[in-house]
Copies of this chain bind each other. A is one copy, B any other.
Amino acid sequence: VPSETPIITLTTDFGSSDGFVGIVKGVILSLSPQARLVDLSHDIASWDVGAASWIIWNGHRFFPPGTIHLCVVDPAVGSTSQRGIILTDGSAFFVGPDNGIFTLLLEEQREWRSIELTNKELWRKEVSATFHTRDIYGPVCAHLANGKTTADFGAEVPMDTVTRLPVQKARQEGNAWEGSIVYIDKFGNMVSNIPAQAVKPGWRCSVKGAFIAKVGTTYASAPKEEFSAFVGSHGYLEVGAYQANAAEIWGGSVGASVRLEPT
């Protein structure tokens, strides 16, 4: 493998029990035997496009230029109203359904372009109604890895026609910040949308209207099973508990309010 062979990452809600991800890899490797495949997540909650959007946004930043990202959480697969697209800023390539899965990427100011997937020559010959990842998106990723250019797959479409989900943004109120939980990870850490630059040591953090912790630096800033608030590895205020599941204990869920203020 020359080091320049692109990486293809895979993010889906397919789970790991049925072989669906392996099948997609078989299709990709049949077309692009040298592709290097990296799983980002396949255990997104079924049909949770919003969670996929966060995982792809958070994850893609750590892959080298030229990486191709297969991104599929697609409850409406096979609906006639829905198209597949390539989204690219010229450096990273995202392939998947145009159903809002790229929402958080599109929040970033870049030179985004979007191509509608219409060239069936670059799909599997028979396209099922329910497994476009195997029959369309996987082959498109493989052909991209093999050096096809985005224009080979179809025509560019206006960026303002690309689907975006509503985005919860934190806002400043005087000295304080009002935000919300946007993601909860497997440890029960609650990730907010309050950006790192707003977070000051010792400030008070509330979740769902009640004080939960002062701002520290890491999980272990608090005693065992107690809460801590800090800037997470993604660059936003996060609330966790030391060796315990903060979201479960506190009853936190995506959308819950978060407030950060001076003491």
Asked whether, in the complex, the Cβ of B59 is within 8 Å of the Cβ of A26, the reply is: yes
- The answer to whether A22 has its CB under 8 Å from any CB of chain B is yes
Residues of B within 8 A of A83 (CB): none
Residues of B within 8 A of A130 (CB): 218-219, 230, 232-233, 238
Interface of chain A residues 107 through 139 with chain B (CB within 8 A): 128-131, 134-135
Asked whether, in the complex, the Cβ of A22 is within 8 Å of the Cβ of B38, the reply is: yes
Asked whether, in the complex, the Cβ of B75 is within 8 Å of the Cβ of A219, the reply is: yes
Most buried by B among A16, A18, A78, A243: A18
A182 shortest CB reach to chain B, Å: 13
Interface of chain A residues 6 through 25 with chain B (CB within 8 A): 7, 9, 11, 14-23, 25
- The answer to whether A34 has its CB under 8 Å from any CB of chain B is yes
Of the A-B pairs whose beta carbons lie under 8 Å apart in the complex, a sample of 26, sorted by A's number, is: A3-B33, A11-B19, A11-B22, A15-B186, A16-B41, A17-B186, A18-B55, A20-B185, A21-B39, A22-B40, A22-B41, A26-B38, A26-B59, A26-B64, A29-B63, A46-B187, A46-B243, A75-B242, A76-B218, A76-B219, A78-B219, A129-B218, A129-B231, A130-B218, A130-B219, A134-B233
